[in-house]
Chains A and B, each alone.
Chain A
Amino acid sequence: MKRKQTRIIVGTAISAAAIAVAIDHTRQRLPEPGKQLASQEAVIIIDEGEELPGENNGDCGKSVSHGRRASPCSL
């Protein structure tokens, strides 16, 4: 595969991805500032020995300590 062909393929893929991101961004609502920060800050804080979200029932969003939502599923 020549360099020019490679550039065209990679350029097309990146452009297609950019269009997909733009479509997704315009279709989805943006999260409320407070909610977004809380969930992302506390994604993976879990006390030792505490039942993990999803450990037994596959629930990735079960509430855990400190009133935060924690989830190793977001790793």
Chain B
Amino acid sequence: MQSATSSRPADQHAVLTVSLAVLGISLFVQQSITGLQYLAFLIGVGLGITLMHAAFGFSGSWRSFIRERDGKGIRAQLLLLGITSLLFFPVLGQVFPSIQSGAALAPVGTSVVVGAFLFGIGMQLGGGCGSGTLYTMGQGQVDMLITLTFFIIGATLGTAHLHWWLSLPGYGSVSVIKHFGWWQALLLQLIMLASLYGLVRLLEIRRHGRINPVEWQIPKPEITQRLIHGQWPLWWGVLGLAVLNLATLIVAGYPWSITYAFGLWGAKLWAAVGGDPGSWVYWSSGYPEQSLNSSVLADTTSVMDFGIILGALLAAALAGKFAPAMKLTRTRVLTAVTGGLLLGYGARLGFGCNIGALVGGIASGSLHGWLWMVAGFCGGIAGVQLRIWLRIDKPMGIQQ
């Protein structure tokens, strides 16, 4: 995660082009798709801007903690989980009966453990998570274009095999909100998150003698400049993502998710070249079947993903960071391909990525979110070791 203020001039041509694209797509979706789909698209744009301006990622911060015990990013993620839970639990606990929203509940089982572990490895090899891949691709990083392409292929393969993984041992879904009641479950959840926060802080202090703070304040004269052009303090990112996730819950009816759309895009492309994904178990009934046979613009997750890419592109152009020059080595291409496949396959098996399963699951009170966190982090440790083995990173204890 970066901390410097953006000093490069805005890319005005890109800002104008993307702004017109956002306006045009919003109007088109409003006209041609029913419901509140255009609002979902605009929420996606907001998420893309927030992710990009706050440089809010999961892969790099997990790696920083595993390698150097720098817990700033992980503590920001725990704050995000806590604030999102505070916003979600009353809504999902039917405190406001007029808001009809569903939780991100999924089964606790073998598929989640295996999927999250593979996803954790993929995060370190591919260079991004679900949200990170989208926003860095929107920023114009060519290597992430490769990761995203194979993310889509992996997710599509995952849909072909999911029914087999679901036949392995599992418990079923567990909602702590239904089990304990919303405020008791919230209290329990906040205690667990606070304990984890304390543990991360302790390990950080033990290594460095101090903690790397999650920034909050910036000098007053810089506020407008930083709001438009970045770089945002990490706390702004935490609050922005939590509020926009709540907006997603209210508008779309379920928490923010990303990777369902990747499988859908892959299945549609497979159908376009003559394949028959409709004959696969996954796509043969329910919402998957319906979305496969409808316009991609009717799928809320897809529309939000398009918004995230364009929002990140807009933010990158405003910060003068769009399409950075880069060196694309053979190793980087290999890790982008492998990482992308693991990310996609893992996300399908794990019922979502770091956003849909980790943030959405935990903030919805679903036990599978916690299981995903443990298995995903173990995968992250394996991924960090693989990076050392592939000589992408130096061995532990040696500065990068």
> Which residues of A come within 8 Å of B, CB atoms?
1-3, 6-7, 9-10, 13-14, 20-21, 23-25, 28-31, 33, 35-37, 39-62, 69-75
Contacts and interface: CB of A to CB of B under 8 A. Distances in A.
B313 to A, nearest CB: 8
The 5 closest A-B pairs by CB, nearest first: A61-B286, A58-B163, A61-B285, A72-B106, A41-B253
Interface in B286-306: 286-291, 293-298, 300-301, 306
Interface in B205-257: 252-254, 257
Interface string B263-296: 0000011001000000001101111111101111
A1 B254 CA distance: 40
Contacts of B288: 60-61, 71, 73-74
Contact of B324 (A6, A23, A40): A6
Interface in B123-176: 137, 140-142, 145, 162-164, 166-167, 170, 172-175
B9 interface: no
7 contacts: A30-B298, A39-B290, A40-B253, A44-B103, A44-B254, A55-B170, A75-B360
A41 B101 CA distance: 7
Q: Which of A28, A39, A44, A47 has the most CB of B within 10 A?
A: A44
B356 interface: yes
Nearest to B35: A37
Given A6-B140, A10-B140, A21-B296, A44 B102 contact: yes
B372 to A, nearest CB: 11
B298 A43 contact: no
Given A1-B327, A39-B290, A74-B288, A58 B166 contact: yes
B105 interface: yes
B286 A53 contact: yes
Nearest to A34: B34
Given A7-B322, A55-B107, A73-B162, A61 B287 contact: yes
B145 to A, nearest CB: 6
A36 B105 contact: no
Interface in B326-365: 326-328, 351-352, 356-357, 360
B172 A7 contact: no
A12 to B, nearest CB: 10
B36 to A, nearest CB: 9
A72 B290 contact: no
A14 B22 CA distance: 13
B104 A75 contact: yes
Nearest to B353: A75
Contact of B323 (A7, A43, A46): A7
Given A1-B328, A52-B173, A45 B105 contact: yes
Q: Which of A46, A56, A74 has the most CB of B within 10 A?
A: A74
A35 B290 contact: yes
Nearest to A26: B295
Contacts of B324: 3, 6
B394 interface: no
Contacts of A23: 272
Q: Which of A9, A52, A58 has the most CB of B within 10 A?
A: A58
B252 A40 contact: yes
